Amino acid sequence: MIALLRRDLALAIRAGGGFGLGLAFFLILCILVPFGVGPDSGTLAKIAPGILWVGALLACLLSLDRIFQLDFEDGTLDLLATAPLPLEAVATTKALAHWITTGLPLTLAAAPLGQLLNLPAAAMPALVLGLALGTPALSVIGTFGAALTVGLKRGGLLISLLVLPLYMPTLLFGADAARRGAEGLETTTPLLLMTGISAASLALLPFATAAALRMNLR
């Protein structure tokens, strides 16, 4: 497992890997929205928490399709499936690698990007904490979606379709926490609920992911 994690991280960091690009996408989205919506800082502040969460979610989404796809296309996945590693471990490792390369940098970048969108300072703690607790769920759920669509050419957009509904609860609680933070309300309840989702996904979804992989390889 550690070998696999190390390899995935190495691949992400190498030329053409995905590291930092999810982050770049997030950055770009946060720049785009004001262009689309207009520069009025009052409006921006109002929608900032929601946009930041939607942005984090999309940045995750964009990097999902290749979690297994590349390994499938060049035959590595077949080889991994016949290796002594259980597929559940492969699924967990892949999700972890995805989080390290995507969720973690997003969480760290959220604070400065919030500035760009005039996010009220009061909303910051709830936003960052929410991302830290919620992005693991995004990675695990996304890995499941990727396992379902592995082997389909241009699975990328199909994953989005499958995974977005699953992302909904995380998004709702996360954005709600950040909005409440902005309004000075207490944020414990949504954050706790979200932590619950993350923990449950982490514990259970790898089994579903492994099952989906097995069916797809058949």
Partner 1 sequence: MEFSAQNLACRRGDAVVLSEVTFAVSQGEALILRGPNGSGKTTLLRCLAGLTPAVSGSLSFSPDDVAYAAHADGLKAQLTVAETLRFWAQVFGTRRIEAALDAFDLRGLMERRTQTLSAGQKRRLSLARLILTGRTLWALDEPTVSLDTSAVAQFAAAVRTHLAGGGAAIIATHIDLGLRDAATLDIGQFRATQSVAHDPFLDEALS
Partner 2 sequence: MSIWKYANPTQFMRTSAWLLPGLSVLAALCVATGLVWGFFFTPDDFRQGSTVKIIYLHVPSALMAINAWLMMLVASLIWLIRRHHVSALAAKAAAPVGLVMTVIALATGAIWGEPMWGTYWAWDPRLTSFLILFLFYLGYIALWQAIETQDTAADLTSVLCLVGSVFALLSRYAVNFWNQGLHQGTSVPVATGERSVADVFFVPLVFSMVGFGLLFVALVLLRTRTEIRSRRLHALLARERAADTRVAPNTPPSESPTS
Nearest to 103 by CA among 126, 132, 82: 132
Could you tell me the smallest distance in angstroms from the CB atom of residue 203 to its own copies?
A: 25
Residues that bind partner 1 (CB under 8 A): 2-4, 6-7, 10-11, 14-17, 70, 74-76, 78-85, 153, 217-218
Dig out the tokens for 149 from the structure.
């669509």
Please choose, out of 65-73, 83-91, 98-106, 172-180, the segment that lies near partner 2 by the rule CB under 8 A. Answer: 172-180
Q: Applying CB under 8 A, which of residues 58, 116, 120, 156 lies at the interface with partner 2?
A: 116
Site for partner 2 in 32-91 (CB under 8 A): 34-35, 38-41
| Cα–Cα distance measured from residue 125 to residue 117, given in angstroms and rounded to the nearest whole number | 16
- Does 99 bind its own copies (CB under 8 A)? Our answer is no
- Hey, what are 89's tokens? 């471990």
Among partner 2, its own copies, partner 1, none, what does residue 188 contact (CB within 5–8 Å per kind)? none
Provide, rounded to whole angstroms, the least separation between the CB of residue 2 and partner 2: 27
Query: What is the separation, in whole angstroms, between the first and last Cα of the chain?
Result: 23
Spatial CA neighbour of 59 closest among 91, 106, 97: 106
Q: Decide whether 22 or 34 has the Cβ nearer to partner 1.
A: 22
Give which of partner 2, partner 1, its own copies, none residue 57 binds (C-beta under 5 to 8 Å, depending on kind): its own copies
Considering only 160, 187, 201, 209, the residue that binds its own copies (CB under 8 A) is 160
* Binding of its own copies by 154 (CB under 8 A): yes
Of 10, 13, 108, 157, the one binding its own copies by CB under 8 A: 157
Secondary structure class of 91 (helix, strand, coil): helix
Least distance from C-beta 176 to partner 2, angstroms?
A: 5
User: In whole angstroms, what is the distance from residue 129 CA to residue 125 CA?
Assistant: 6
| Percent helix / strand / coil, the chain, rounded to 5 | 85, 0, 15
**Tokens standing for residue 150:** 């592995």
Which is nearest to 137 in space by CA: 81, 79, 77, 206?
A: 206
| Interaction of residue 158 with its own copies, rule CB under 8 A | yes
